[in-house]
Amino acid sequence: MYCPLVKKGDFKRVFETGRRFSSKYLVVYALPNGLDFSRLGLSVSKKTGSAVIRNKIKRRLRESVRKRLAEKPLRYDIVIVARTAAAGAPFADLDRMIAKTFAGLVNEDTTDSNRKAI
RNA sequence: CGAAGCAGCACAGGUGGUCGCUCGCCUUACGGCGGGAGGAAAGUCCGAGCUCCAAAGGGCAAGGCGCUCUGUAACGCAGAGUCCCGGUGACGGGAAGGAAAGUGCCACAGAAAGGGAAACCACUCCGGCUUUUGCCGGAGAAAGGGUGAAAAGGCGUCCCGAUUUAUCGGGAGCUGUCUGUUAAAGGCAGCAGGUAAGAGCUCACCAGUGCCCCGGGUGACCGGGCGCUUGGUAAACCCCGCCUGGAGCAAGGCCAAAUAGGUUCCGCCUUGAGAGGGGCCCCCUCAAAUCCCCGUACUGCGGGGAGACGGAACGGGUUAGGCCGCAAGACCUCGUACAACACGGGGCACAGAUGAAUGACCACGCCCUGUAUAUCAGGGAACAGAACUCGGCUUAUGGGCUGCUUCGGCAG
RNA sequence: CGGGGCGUAGCGCAGCUUGGUAGCGCACUCGCUUGGGGUGCGAGUGGUCGCCUGUUCAAAUCAGGUCGCCCCGA
């Protein structure tokens, strides 16, 4: 279960206070959100490529995150920034990185996160 | 066979399965069924629809367009033509009105670059001087020389013979034009008058040009006659003709919530202005009032006052808030008509997201690459992703097919 | 959706308005100066003016198209 991350302030909070995982193709920021589901934000720079390439990267990342969250439901605000190398990456590599990153995340105590959210 | 030039066509990797996204419909719900990127969706270069604002009219400014006719909702688009340029040719390219309304510019060189008494050298004739060479003066100004992109349109040649000594005949050649050809070719016209010699004079031909005439064409323009000989540049200013109100779906409409300022009224305090309209002007429209107070003879007339602060109500803006706008045609094809187009018949399709939907995996077959082959391995090719909707233009781009035409070579 | 600007030598810029010679600084090379280096002085090398087409006798400059980059407004 997830929904898109929308607000500019939410992005800013995740960038500044969230955990950071870097890899060849991606930079992933994650922050517990205190909700019953995760929210996903994607950032692909115009320098990465044309609209077609950028769309393809976002679709692949969305697909990968959907599959990983189905296996392991997290309650995080996640922002994934694609690096320029992600344009030519095979889907299997991207998926492996997402899975590896999610393996390092654990849901926090519910009451604690609720207090934070409010 | 080789080289080249046009025109057109369809495609944009297929089928099946699993999981997932988005929209619509059905269902109480679980869920089910169906739709889901392109030829350029791109660039945003034109033209329209649609929406809001403005709008009596005229002029100016600004911007755009600029051969003709036709088509179209419209266009800077298209079709058919005209003229010019390039190409042996098929064919390609052209912002192609006006330089005789005016202004400006034309570097360097050159006497001179737009009106300059067209200069200099050299030249011809006449007169004078001189042994000659030559010098001086006058007249003439064509051919020749030098600069430059351009010097005031170009061109009128040569030989033989005869004689009436400026004409005739013959030949070659040149120029122009016509016919025809792949090419060679052929026909016609001109090559003259004048003069000391010549010419810018007369004449012939060609070129250019004209608010001239005749003929053809809807027209651009073409052909002929007549007149004239005028440098180029308007993608320099400009002139002429035609067109253009402004903004854009974040247009615009409705709804919701919260808050500071705005308008009206009340209280309190106190003393200020015509407003609106398009880029501007003439001007036009609405106003020159209303309310309160005072004076006076009711209407009326004269004089004075109204903005800040607090409360209430109202309507706008903001909050990337929600809904609507927001989804079947200026389409394709066949026939008629010279083409675009129009008319008639038939056919087909018709995404609506909003931090923004098309993806991932598997199987089969197909294509490409690697390897001697099979197996096998890798990849699915190019350009590229709708954002209110259409008609065009431009640009990017894969492999393939079809038709026509031109030039050259070889063979029959 | 609307508007504006830039592209010239390895780098940063001028020249474009009013068309005829492409220039400045740094950098680079050589020489002088110094015992040597730096500094300084002098000389020199180096540019398809983003690309295509056109106008013109002549285009970095004018016109049209195109490509790339940057900025602004709603």
A52 touches strand B (CB under 7 A): yes
d(CA A55, CA A49): 10
The identity of residue A26, as a single letter, is: L
User: In the prediction, which pLDDT does A1 show?
Assistant: 41
| A2-117 fold | Ribosomal Protein S5; domain 2 (3.30.230)
Question: What would the pLDDT profile of A40-78 be if each residue is shown by its tens digit?
Answer: 888 777 777 777 778 888 888 888 888 787 777 777 888
A50 touches strand B (CB under 7 A): yes
User: In the prediction, which pLDDT does A108 show?
Assistant: 55
**Mean per-residue pLDDT, A15-30:** 80
Question: What would the pLDDT profile of A95-118 be if each residue is shown by its tens digit?
Answer: 778 888 887 777 654 433 332 222
Q: Give the CA A87 to C1' C49 distance in Å.
A: 36
User: In the prediction, which pLDDT does A15 show?
Assistant: 75
The pTM score is 0.69
Q: Could you tell me if A41 and A7 are in contact, meaning their C-beta atoms sit under 8 angstroms apart?
A: no
A11 touches strand B (CB under 7 A): yes
Ranges of beta strands (E only) in A11-117 are 19-22, 26-32, 38-44, 76-82
Strand B, CB < 7 A, residues 53-112 of A: 55-56, 58-60, 62-63, 66, 90-92
